[in-house]
Structure 1
Amino acid sequence: MNFKKLLLIPILSAALCQQALAERVQIDKVVATVNEGVVLQSEVDQIVNRVKEQAKQQGTELPSDKVLSIQATDRLVDQVLILQLANRMGLEISDAHLDQTLANIAKEQGGTIADLRRSIEASGESYQAYREELRKEITMNQVKRGAVDRRVYISPQEVDNLNKILAEQSGQSEEYDIGHILIKVDSKANPEEIAEARERAEKVIEFLNEGREFKRIAIASSGGANALDGGQLGWMGINEMPTLFAEAIKGKKKDEIVGPLRSGAGFHIVKVQDVRGREVVETVEVRSRHILLKPSIILSEEKARDMLAGFVKDLREGKADFAELAKEHSEDPGSALKGGEYDWTDPSTYVPAFRDTLMGLEKDQISEPFRSTFGWHIVQLLDKRVADKTEQAKLNRAHQLLFRRKFKEESFKWMREMREQAHIQVIESQ
């Protein structure tokens, strides 16, 4: 037997293993250190490849691979810093929270979680990897939102100023279909004659408010040039109207009666017969009440869900009172003392899981237990109405525009501060 050959076998095997290990290390080398964390080449490559694939599908021209790698590394450094902060905060996204988010994503795409999984795997990606990437994304969004939100301050004056600017811009496209009645007053009229004309004008307004036909009253009562046309002035913008009309009519709604407006010619009565070029926002508002349980070390996800399921059973059987259960058990400090009740609210302000569950209920119906980002809930729809929120929508839009701008500015500052306080080393490739 050749003992030399036998001795060489383990030596060669060890050498080959070391070579393979070295190749793996080389393939997945560290490209940056971030405090106690690292950024790996494979993570950089994954982002670069994804960007290239998207660019290929969209026909977009990209810079060099080196530039893409630098940008990908930069993004990953930020990601590591935020996840390290989340770890120090003890922030964890539970599987139940993740599953609820996945269900919402699938629902928005018109399918189920199973459909979403098939779609992801059909594209060549790992569903498990997708789940964990989503968990990271949710974590980072929560950390970022919590840190940056409190740095953003928007004064009521800022909102009011921007709203006026936006109103002037949109007002230029608004047009009004105007009906006009003039109760004439002679230029030499005495006070009694003026008072009599005002009285007639107010009587005309009274008739119109009772629903009398505008054109008929205009033909019978108006001393204006368009009296025989039923007082019809037609469509006109604010800038086309007499100043007296424009100031009184701007912002008025369809079918509103304006007047009497005094001028040298007499008393004017104007009806806004229609409006076009204006965004009218009508919103469904809901009154509801809910009970919230927050899972913890003491209260597990399953126990919270089962407790609420028990509440639902007792409520439906008439063995319990919703308000009393909310006061005793709900962990929502804003509503618990009110028996879990929320006043009239636009449901779009709620988190998706709460909003979608609530909007799927009939009046007085109680939901099954469901999970949101805050914990486990049951909710009851008390009432529903349609409200005109045009003015509030304008203010909200102005606030959102200001918030987005300031949030971006503060996010950049916050991230820069995070980097300045961290120990970051990018390892240049040889």
Structure 2
Amino acid sequence: MVKKVFLLTVMLFAAAGLRAQKQQVMLDKVVAVVGSSSILYSEVDEYARNMVAQRLAEGYTTDRDPHNEALEALLTQKLLYNQALIDSVDISAADIQTRVEEQLQNMIDEEGSIPKLEAKHHMPIFNLREILRQRYEEQAYASSMQAEVVNKVSIIPGEVERYYKHIDKDSLPLIADQYVYAQITRFPRTMTEAKQRTRERLLDLRERVITGQAKFENLARMYSQDPGTAMRGGEMEPTPLASLDQAFADALAELKPGQISEVVETQYGFHIIQSLEKRGNIYRFRHILLRPVYTTDELSTELNFLDSLVTEIRRDSITFEQAALRYSDDASSKMNGGIVSNHDVLERFNAFDAKLTVTKFLKEDFGRYKSLDDYNALSRLHVGEISDAYLTEDMMGNQMAKVVKLVQIIPTHVASLNEDYLRLEEMALTAKQEKAFREWLTKKIDGMYVYIDPEFRGGAFENKHWVK
């Protein structure tokens, strides 16, 4: 589930941090200290230059002094980091390691070789790796700490209504064009055969690990279709069974550390799982995910079927609604004339009340939650028209054929409470989270050791408590 979190924007890019490291010989001046963490002028300068460059690339600037803004952002990050250590906040060491290695490899590729990279930064690669690790670790702790603060904030309908009534109407957002559409989806009729092929591939991978021909983590990097874990050798963050798919959790619970499961089918596809460790109800494990893959002929069969069906609909031999009910494989829309509900937006906003059923999609909703193939097809249609058949994937990455019908376009308009409740709820929640974080931050500033060099105290800090 996608969580709404107002997180600190971290703009200290890893490579920039390494450039700052080289400048410390000349600019090794501590400008501030928060808890046990110091801030060098070189860090502030590099942060400010990157911030300005990013904003220029996005087409805007601000009147605030960039060095002062950079210093306050770094003060906030250091405080969050120190508080995270005090509160024993959890982070994913595996994720940090993956990010470090990816960044390091990008830097090596950019320079052409490891020796050239070491020569550029005047230090051996293991020092570069450690600098990256420390920087990513600090950022991870800071982000996790802020998430812990704002994720405790919730909102009720009455607060959304009060927010709407008191907000300056000129501040209300414009809601861009929204699309209401219907669909007919078809998975290949050979799904059983494709699933069996997938099982056999996983059984082969399992056999290679068990017989010592390959390591599980290496096969995960090569073959797993889970983008979130493949680069980490299939390892997920430590998690309780309750947060996993039931079939996956049942299989994992039966394993002892080091053991590998049989093939497990879940809503996401097919897996083999390797148990690593169990501490209480928290499990560490790796997995390899594969999804059924179809041949060109298998997919073409469904495309041809849908194209023929579209021809019949355009001839008025059958209505789109009748065709969806009779032929669509999408259980969530076929009973409603094929009309697609924006379940992902409901989940994003934690809204599951039946009255909040959403059938409207912004363009950004397609890019964030659904395939852009749907938007590309709809953008070429007039209201009431039906697309030709095309190949796409569902949210789980399963291949299928689809046709869509553009039912309605809701023009761009100013957000209203009746029509755009969930969008306004997001605004109200974000505002409440920001307020809660500012109050929390002020309290922590007052309770933590903070020193700012007198030369750098004259800036316009948004939080006046930094200067004590």
TM-score bracket for this pair, using the shorter chain length: 0.3 to 0.5
Larger RCO (CA under 8 A, 6+ residues apart): 2
The higher radius of gyration belongs to: 1
When normalised by structure 2's length, the TM-score is: 0.37
Name the structure where strand makes up a greater proportion of residues: 1
> So what's the TM-score if we normalise by structure 1?
0.40
